[in-house]
Amino acid sequence: MRVLIAMVRDRFDIVIVGAGPAGCTAAYLLAKAGFSVLLVDRGRGAGSKLLWGGKAYAQPLRDIWPELDREAPIHRWVSRDRFSFVWGDRVLTLEYKLGRKVAFTVYLPELVSWMARKAESVGATFIDEVVIDEIIVRDGVVYGVRSGNDIIRANVVVDAEGINRMLLEKLGLASKPNPYSLSLGVKEVLSLDSKLIEERFNLDKGEGLAWLVAGDITKGIPGGGFIYTMRDSISIGLVLSIGHAADMAEKGLLKEHVSSLVESFRLHPYFRVYWREADIIEYGGRMAIEGGLSYMPKKLYTNGLLVVGDAAGLLVNTGYTIRGVDTAVTSARLAAETIVEAHNKGGFTEDNLRAYEEKIKRSYIYKELVEHRGIEDVFRDQFFFTKFPALATRIGAKLFESDYEEPSMLRALLDSAREEDISILRIIYKLGRVARKL
């Protein structure tokens, strides 16, 4: 019999749970800094459990990988942003043409696989297909992680488990999730020839479009819709407040299954012309944080533990856009910096890791989170996802659908407001509130 040399590796400097954008970034930076790093994910290959909208902000990623533009599996650089109000068949659309490469579209599983390969290329060990069951704490200090009967020791554990915080809840660092601070994203990927995409959306080769939609496509559930052009497919979907949708379902106000809401969005007469011959190649769902500071755990660090990305509640959801990938990457960068500094100070004690939270508070992420605090309330306000789209499209109807007269803008506004039973003062007040929050 061949004798095997027992070289069981049961100890690493750093163990990172979750190979999403946050975990992969932390693994890359820490392995590059010379630590022994174990990155673990439960999926088969990195990203196989991830679903998102489709648009990533580039600069925070370039800060880590200057080669991003050249190497990453980018589909299209977003050159146009659109926003539409929908009320029944009536639609009002605004479009903005961007002047530079700010954000790109990409499939999240592809982007995250690329990040994981980057981490492996600088020496991190990436293990997939393994669920971590517990972060072990002994005498107030993080000892390692447990998966089934296996225990792997670590000097620092980075929790990058994402929105479903099974591990943090077990540790008592996060409480049971509140359905009102979470939304459910339901999405379809439609395959469509890249030339057709460029023709129909007025795009040059390699350019992309990001399109957000508000109105009655959500059937009165607070939330909205998104459309992103990928290389040779289109991502469409709805993001719906779980707490509110559940209330409506229980009260019998919502009877349709969420998949049928997405199907109605796909088949909406205004939108379907863009993808009429497209085949659906994937369908699925995942949760997103509703926004603001409400999902942030009490503490982002303890002796030997740092929390990054969605798990730390660091997602900017302004109601018109979700930014979770760049914020996850940035929080992981700040965590990695803190770990290096703590190492130089002589240990990964709570005192030495506290700097992480301070770095977060000084970063652009936190500023965004504070500025958008309460934005959920604004967007959850019936006014914005029901009254306002109704009003906007009615004004449109007055201006463009009159057979004889040519009403003035002001006349159209006043008449519409009266017909929708909304006072002009209330509109001004509400708009002012949003302007302050955005």
Ligand X SMILES: Cc1cc2nc3c(=O)[nH]c(=O)nc-3n(C[C@H](O)[C@H](O)[C@H](O)COP(=O)(O)OP(=O)(O)OC[C@H]3O[C@@H](n4cnc5c(N)ncnc54)[C@H](O)[C@@H]3O)c2cc1C
Interface with ligand X (CB under 6 A): 17-23, 40-43, 49-50, 52-56, 131-132, 160-163, 166-167, 185, 187, 237, 239, 286-288, 309-311, 315, 322-326, 328
Which of 21-29, 92-100, 181-189, 301-309 is the region at the interface with another protein (rule: CB under 8 A)? 181-189
Distance between CA 287 and CA 400 in Å, rounded? 39
How many Cα neighbours within 13 Å face the side chain of 221?
33
Contact between 229 and another protein per CB under 8 A: no
Q: Where are any strands of DSSP class E within 27-66?
A: 37-40, 55-57
Contact between 199 and another protein per CB under 8 A: no
By C-beta, is 202 or 259 nearer to another protein? 259
Which one of ligand X, another protein, none is in contact with 283 (Cβ closer than 5 to 8 A by kind)? Answer: another protein
Which one of ligand X, another protein, none is in contact with 56 (Cβ closer than 5 to 8 A by kind)? Answer: ligand X
Contact between 40 and another protein per CB under 8 A: yes
Name which of 126, 124, 139, 133 is nearest 151 in CA terms: 133
Which one of ligand X, another protein, none is in contact with 386 (Cβ closer than 5 to 8 A by kind)? Answer: none
Distance between CA 393 and CA 87 in Å, rounded? 6
Which one of ligand X, another protein, none is in contact with 55 (Cβ closer than 5 to 8 A by kind)? Answer: ligand X
Query: What's the min distance (Å) between Cβ of 181 and another protein?
Result: 9
What are residue 414's phi and psi, to 5 degrees?
Answer: -65, -45
Site for another protein in 98-117 (CB under 8 A): 107-109
Could you say which of 38, 209, 289, 312 contacts another protein (CB under 8 A)? 38
By C-beta, is 161 or 198 nearer to ligand X? 161
Spatial CB neighbours of 415, under 8 Å, sequence gap ≥ 6: 398, 407
By C-beta, is 4 or 410 nearer to another protein? 4
Q: Look up residue 382 and give its two tokens.
A: 């019936």
Contact between 184 and another protein per CB under 8 A: yes
Could you identify the residue written with the tokens 């007469």?
269
Which one of another protein, ligand X, none is in contact with 17 (Cβ closer than 5 to 8 A by kind)? Answer: ligand X
Could you say which of 89, 139, 204, 277 contacts another protein (CB under 8 A)? 277
By C-beta, is 92 or 145 nearer to another protein? 145
CB of 105 closer than 8 Å to CB of 230: yes
Which H, E and C letters describe 284-315, residue by residue?
EEEEEECCCCCCCCCCCEECCEEECHHHHCCC
Distance between CA 18 and CA 145 in Å, rounded? 12
How many other β-carbons are positioned within 10 Å of the β-carbon of residue 148? 9
Contacts 24+ apart (CB under 8 A), 144-152: 144/11, 144/15, 145/15, 145/17, 145/40, 147/40, 151/10, 152/10, 152/11, 152/12, 152/15, 152/38
CB of 373 closer than 8 Å to CB of 296: no
In this structure, the strands spanning 90-97 and 37-40 are unpaired
Which one of ligand X, another protein, none is in contact with 120 (Cβ closer than 5 to 8 A by kind)? Answer: none
By C-beta, is 109 or 225 nearer to another protein? 109
By C-beta, is 185 or 389 nearer to ligand X? 185
Which one of ligand X, another protein, none is in contact with 310 (Cβ closer than 5 to 8 A by kind)? Answer: ligand X
Query: What's the min distance (Å) between Cβ of 21 and ligand X?
Result: 4
Query: What's the min distance (Å) between Cβ of 95 and ligand X?
Result: 18
Query: What's the min distance (Å) between Cβ of 54 and another protein?
Result: 9
What's the Cα-to-Cα distance from 436 to each of 245, 372, 373, 431, rounded to whole Å?
27, 9, 11, 9
Site string for another protein, 235-264 (x = CB under 8 A): x------x--xxx-xx-x-xxxxxxx--xx
Site for another protein in 340-399 (CB under 8 A): none
Query: What's the min distance (Å) between Cβ of 188 and another protein?
Result: 8
Distance between CA 264 and CA 273 in Å, rounded? 13
Query: What's the min distance (Å) between Cβ of 308 and ligand X?
Result: 6
User: At 91, is the secondary structure helix, strand, or coil?
Assistant: strand
Query: What's the min distance (Å) between Cβ of 346 and another protein?
Result: 28
Query: What's the min distance (Å) between Cβ of 149 and another protein?
Result: 8
Q: Give, for 365, the enclosing helix (H) or strand (E).
A: helix 364-371
Query: What's the min distance (Å) between Cβ of 327 and another protein?
Result: 19
